[in-house]
């Protein structure tokens, strides 16, 4: 029974390694989509109140942040084993704190400030990790 679980875990890790560049790009895209969503909200609310109702969905924000965070944790911890630099992980940790505060702690008027700051910091952590990955990775076919 344990061999089966270990074998499945090994297969999953091999698939993640094989598609890590795709995951990097997906994670960065989700992070930037979250950032664009957060930056566009004030304009949408101001210019198009009827359309803004469809975008004003707290659940959408939570899914964007959570999806981007999960992918970031997977990629940044995997790449940390290669380059041993903690900067991207520390940036991601700071981003997650800011986004958590924005989504669950502060009042709605202050939410955007924290979530946008967290999104920017998460994008910076992705870019920092991507640069380190490019320097250390000699095989870009995986």
pLDDT of residue 54: 56
Question: What's the confidence (pLDDT) of residue 34?
Answer: 81
Output Rg (C-alpha) for the chain, integer angstroms: 17
Give burial (CB, 10 Å; 0-12/13-18/19+) of 85: middle
Dihedral through CA 50, CA 52, CA 55, CA 57, nearest 10? Answer: -90
Residue pLDDT tens, the chain, 142 long: 455 555 555 666 666 666 667 777 888 888 888 888 888 777 766 665 555 555 557 787 888 888 888 888 988 898 888 888 999 999 999 999 999 999 899 887 888 889 889 989 998 998 998 888 888 776 555 4
Domain ranges of the chain: 2-136
Give yes or no for a contact between 126 and 103, defined as CB atoms under 8 angstroms apart. no
How much is the pLDDT for 10? 63
Task: State the pLDDT at residue 8.
Answer: 57
């Amino acid at each position: 029974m344990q061999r089966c679980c270990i074998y499945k875990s090994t297969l999953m890790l091999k698939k993640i390694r094989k598609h890590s560049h795709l995951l990097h790009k997906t994670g960065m895209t989700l992070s930037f989509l979250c950032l664009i969503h957060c930056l566009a909200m004030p304009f949408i609310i101001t210019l198009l109140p009827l359309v803004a109702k469809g975008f004003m969905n707290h659940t959408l924000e939570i899914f964007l942040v959570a999806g981007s965070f999960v992918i970031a944790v997977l990629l940044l911890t995997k790449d940390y084993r290669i380059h041993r630099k903690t900067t991207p992980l520390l940036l991601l940790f700071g981003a997650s704190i800011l986004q958590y505060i924005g989504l669950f702690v502060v009042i709605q008027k202050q939410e955007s400030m924290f979530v946008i700051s967290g999104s920017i910091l998460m994008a910076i952590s992705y870019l920092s990790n991507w640069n380190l990955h490019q320097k250390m990775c000699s095989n870009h076919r995986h």
